[in-house]
Copies of this chain bind each other. A is one copy, B any other.
Amino acid sequence: MQKISSVLLKRSANTTFRTHSSFQYANLVVEKNTKKQRLPSDPEKLGFGRYFSNHMIDVDWDAKEGWFAPHIKPFQNFSIHPAAKVLHYAQTIFEGLKAYHGVDGKIRVFRPELNMERMRRTARRATLPDFNTREALLLIDELIRIDADMVPKTDKASLYIRPMLFATDQHLGIGESMQAKWACFTAITGSYFNYDRGIRLLADPEMVRSWKGGVGQYKMGCNYAPTIFVGKLVSRIMAAMQGCDQAMWLSGEDRLVTEAGAMNLFMLWTNEENELELITPPTDSGLLLPGITRQSVVELAREWDLMKVSETNFTMDQLVRAVQEQRVHEFFVSGTAANVGPVSEILYCDKERGVKENLVIPTMSSKMQLVKRLNKTLSDIHYGRIEKKEWQRIVELN
């Protein structure tokens, strides 16, 4: 999986440049922050992505020179040229992963190599430079080590890690950027949602997130901007009811169920063949993001072998019928920020077909308690209460 970093020789008209195919941890320059942070003492009040830790990684790239030496420096604003392509043409990609302070005092990062591999696939699609997974992981380890006291010492919070890569070219033409920046910072983070009530979803085929031939399967910034307005509409439509409501994204004439908000989704149901099945839409359609939590849920459920586990498409019609016939037991979303979140209702509005129907899902009262079990197991792995070495990257502290 991990490509060995190599030295690439590029020849231009008058001069020869040496270009590393990745930034190198060995070249890291560290400038420590002397200021101290003040944070809310109650982890419940941290919210998501509001409190940033003291340092950040910053690495520049140039088409001629390749990657420059990585820096870890005090958390600070970027200085960005007004013509940088990120500001105009949205040439930016990102990742989200988390570090947890374990019950044994060790800090664990959850499957970060999967995030780095996905980030590299996304970079290719976004025409941004490639880098080495191992070098990126070593840099992230170092960033966490330096800000180790910012990893919350509670299982109600964690350190959210946000790697990003964006085009910094100083030229307005729409085309490949000749300059880019790889950066990473962290945010002390409580829970994204309050799950006491279950999430309500709004499914309306006029709200479209992705399409065939598009970039829905990549974590590119451009997939998110159009959803902000839709999120606002959803809140407005559902204003009468409280809580953390999201769009459920359908696709095409078949009304395929694909994602919810910026998360993957799962249904535990008795399918048309009378089998107990955990079903989630497949990623090969190109319509949805291959989530790391999604993959982990599929793998855990397959290990447990309590039910059939399928990565298969299902339609809104199938869902409606199954709810009517009381065959849907649990419905939930998954994501790094959200973990696994129970869905309690789906409001299905389909103007074209004259449908407006509220589907009540008994997730919160399910006897199987799959959502609870998944959340507990994931949390046990995150906080080191159980060992699953290949999912737990331990950050060695000094």
Contacts and interface: CB of A to CB of B under 8 A. Distances in A.
A64 interface: no
Interface string A79-108: 111110011111110100000000000000
A207 B213 contact: yes
A182 to B, nearest CB: 12
Nearest to A56: B82
Interface residues of A, number: 64
Q: Taking the full assembly, how many copies of this chain does it contain?
A: 2
A224 B81 contact: no
A150 interface: no
A2 to B, nearest CB: 24
Given A225-B90, A228-B126, A214 B211 contact: yes
Nearest to A82: B185
Interface string A274-299: 00000000000000000000000000
A86 B87 contact: yes
Interface in A307-355: none
Contacts of A126: 225, 228-229
A164 interface: yes
Interface string A154-176: 00000010101010000111111
Q: Which of A89, A125, A215 has the most CB of B within 10 A?
A: A89
A75 interface: yes
A50 interface: yes
17 contacts: A48-B172, A75-B82, A78-B81, A86-B86, A87-B92, A89-B221, A89-B228, A90-B223, A90-B224, A125-B226, A126-B225, A127-B229, A174-B262, A175-B228, A175-B231, A222-B224, A222-B226
